[in-house]
């Protein structure tokens, strides 16, 4: 059952979390989400474009951590990228993939040692609206099929878009420089796009990036043996 109380990632303010947002260039949402997660957990700075280029080069050498150069990164590939970075730099982090649940997802915000990344998927003409802050400005009006990864950062059952309708799900989303607010979705739109089934991904894809030395309470992962 969903909580009736607001929750926010790592007990920060919305303005603090919004400050991590920069406008992405190209198909790099996963790299922004991974980079921001590592900054939140380890205070390290990763350039998303440089990481994207690095993964492109690795793809050409037969190490596949995206579907194709400059193209999509699946949730399980996000896990591989995090584990690759941890191995290369000796960072005490890891990542796991699982199928989440909207009812319990807000609980992830209370874990100071983890950052949750969700992936939305939608068919043609069904792009879920994603609103900036408390406005009704929709930043996802595409008519194409697509997917998008964001850091789940806030849940507030009383949050609205200009008072017009409720938008309880908040995200760190790389669609604007110097944003003062997070991006938000309605409950129905979020559940529909997060729950869209795609072969090889399934419904409600959730990647948890965690500090490795504090994993004793981690949930079982579909990706543990990859």
What is the CATH classification number for the domain harbouring 151? 3.90.70.30
Query: Tokens at residue 99, please?
Result: 């199928």
Under the banding of pLDDT at 50, 70 and 90, the label for residue 2 is confident
Place of tokens 């896990």: 79
pTM value? Answer: 0.92
- On the CB side of 57, CA atoms within 13 Å amount to 6
Tens-digit pLDDT profile for residues 72-125: 999 999 999 999 999 999 999 999 999 999 999 999 999 999 999 999 999 999
Tens-digit pLDDT profile for residues 60-69: 999 999 999 9
Tens-digit pLDDT profile for residues 190-222: 999 999 999 999 999 999 999 987 543 343 343
Distance (Å, whole) CA 218 – CA 23 = 32
Query: Which helix (H) or strand (E) covers residue 82, if one does?
Result: helix 75-89
User: How many angstroms separate the Cα of 98 from the Cα of each of 24, 55, 221, 225?
Assistant: 26, 23, 5, 13
Q: Is residue 2 included in any domain, yes or no?
A: no
Tens-digit pLDDT profile for residues 151-179: 999 999 999 999 999 999 999 999 999 89
Q: Is residue 63 included in any domain, yes or no?
A: yes
The sign of the CA dihedral 15, 75, 169, 190 is positive
The predicted pLDDT at position 219 comes to: 37
Q: Give me the domain span that covers residue 150.
A: 7-212
Reference 186, options 166, 172, 171, 203; nearest CA is 166
Q: Is residue 100 included in any domain, yes or no?
A: yes
What share of the chain has pLDDT > 70, as a percent? 94
Number of domains in the chain: 1
Distance (Å, whole) CA 118 – CA 99 = 10
Q: Is residue 186 included in any domain, yes or no?
A: yes
């Amino acid at each position: 059952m969903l909580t009736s109380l607001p929750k926010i990632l790592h007990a920060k303010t919305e303005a603090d979390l919004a400050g991590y947002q920069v406008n992405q260039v190209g198909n790099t949402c996963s790299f922004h989400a991974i980079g921001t997660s590592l900054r939140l957990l380890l205070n390290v700075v990763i350039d998303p474009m440089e990481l994207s280029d690095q993964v492109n080069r690795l793809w050409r050498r037969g190490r596949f951590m995206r579907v194709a150069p400059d193209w999509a990164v699946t949730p399980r590939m996000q896990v591989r990228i995090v584990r690759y970075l941890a191995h290369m730099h000796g960072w005490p982090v890891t990542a796991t993939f699982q199928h989440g649940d909207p009812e319990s997802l807000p609980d992830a915000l209370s874990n100071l040692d983890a950052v949750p990344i969700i992936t939305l998927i939608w068919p043609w003409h069904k792009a879920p609206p994603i609103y900036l802050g408390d406005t009704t400005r929709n930043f996802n009006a595409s008519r194409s099929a697509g997917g998008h990864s964001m850091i789940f950062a806030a849940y507030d059952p009383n949050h609205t878009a200009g008072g017009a309708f409720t938008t309880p799900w908040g995200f760190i989303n790389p669609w604007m420089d110097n944003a003062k607010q997070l991006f938000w979705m309605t409950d129905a739109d979020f559940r529909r796009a997060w729950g869209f089934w795609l072969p090889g991904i399934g419904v409600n894809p959730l990647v948890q990036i965690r500090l490795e030395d504090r994993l004793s309470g981690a949930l079982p992962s579909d990706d543990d043996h990859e």
